[in-house]
Amino acid sequence: MNFATFFKNCPHCGSDNFIVNNEKSKKCMACGFAFYMNASAAVAAFITNDEGKLLVCKRAKEPAKGTLDLPGGFVDNNETAEQAVSRELKEELDAETTEVKYLFSLPNNYLYSGLTIPTLDLFFECKLKNYEQLKAADDVADFEFIAKNELYPEKFGLDSIKKAIRQFAVNSL
């Protein structure tokens, strides 16, 4: 659901005179409060092993539970995107990064608790300290390394990840 229909009352004063101001904001005609739905920052990691296979995860939670994904997640307050991707890799795979290199970004829509949240997904190439002792945790049910020619974007649940996988399959990152 889009934020304009999701939020019916002003979160500041409770008025039901909370109207669409423009494509990304609503304004309360009673108290003047304006609410903007800007993109949230998220990160995802491309990690390849010595054989050139890509590390992919199986999502443990909604949205898109059970589909393939790249490891990553949302950027926290007071955190850089580089710090976020390293933190997410630690949380999801107990992995320590030794190198984090920004690659590109893609817009996405992330459905969470019935609300469609616009995101800007930042993609990184990451190197890890140890590839043998990874373990699935947090919102990762499982993981595996997949050869580039065996990557099928339609098996990935999130639109931006599908696009990123297509880009990875075409280019050598």
Of 173, 166, 164, 170, the C-alpha closest to 72 is 164
What is the predicted pLDDT for the residue at 17? 97
Tens digits of per-residue pLDDT, 52-94?
999 999 999 999 999 999 999 999 999 999 999 999 999 999 9
Nearest one of 75, 56, 54 to 66, comparing CA atoms: 56
**Helices (H) then strands (E): counts for the chain:** 3, 10
Contact between 143 and 136 (Cβ < 8 Å)? yes
Residue 172 confidence (pLDDT) above 70: no
* pLDDT grade for 146, boundaries at 50, 70 and 90: very high
> Is the domain 40-170 a CATH 3.90.79.10 member?
yes
Confidence of residue 173 (pLDDT cuts 50, 70, 90): low
- Give the mean pLDDT of 28-56: 97
**Mean pLDDT in residue range 134-159:** 96
Q: Cis omega (within 30 of 0) on the bond before 63?
A: yes
pLDDT tens for each residue of 154-165: 999 999 999 999
Greater confidence, 168 or 46? 46
Examine the pLDDT at 46 and tell me if it is beyond 70: yes
Of 157 and 172, more confident: 157
Span(s) in the chain for CATH 3.90.79.10: 40-170
Model-wide pTM > 0.75? yes
- Look at residue 171 and tell me whether its pLDDT is greater than 90: no
